[in-house]
Amino acid sequence: MMRRVNLRNPFGSQRIIDESLIREHLALERTRLANERTLLSYTQASLYFLLGGLALLQLKEYADLRYIGYLALIFSGLFLTIGIWRYLSLNRKMKKLLRPENNEENNKENKETTGKKPA
C-alpha cells in the first residue's frame, strides 16, 4: 500500500501526492542528470584528446609522433560525436516513454472525475 505524502505549500493550499509519483519523478530526474554527466564526461575526454593531439603536433623534434597526434585529434572528434549522439538518443527514448504513460493517466483521471470516456 502506497503512503500519501502531504506537501506543504507556503501559499496556503495543501496538495496530497502519491509517494509512487514522487519516486517516479525523482528517478526521471536522476536519469536526466546522469545523462548530462555522461555527456560532460565525453566532452572532457574529447578535450583531453584534442589538447594531447595538438601538443604532439607541436613537437618538432619527434616527427614520428605526428601520426599519434593526428590519431588523437580523430579520437577527439569521435568522442564528441558519440557523446552528443548518446545524449540525444537517450533524451528521445525518455520522451517516448513518458508520452504514453501521461496520456493513459490523464484518460484514467478523466474517467474517474467525469465518469465518461475521453473523446
| Domain segments of the chain as ranges | 18-92
- 110 pLDDT more than 60: no
Q: What is the pTM of this model?
A: 0.65
**Whole-number pLDDT of residue 20:** 80
Mean pLDDT estimate for the chain: 81
Q: What does the pLDDT average to over 62-86?
A: 94
- 46 pLDDT more than 90: yes
DSSP assignment of the chain: -PPEEEEPPTTS--EEEEHHHHHHHHHHHHHHHHHHHHHHHHHHHHHHHHHHHHHHHH-SS-GGGHHHHHHHHHHHHHHHHHHHHHHHHHHHHHHHHHHHHHHHHHHHHHHHHHSS---
Which has the higher per-residue pLDDT, 5 or 83?
Answer: 83
Which residues, in sequence order, are bridge partners of residue 18?
Answer: 4
**Whole-number pLDDT of residue 39:** 96
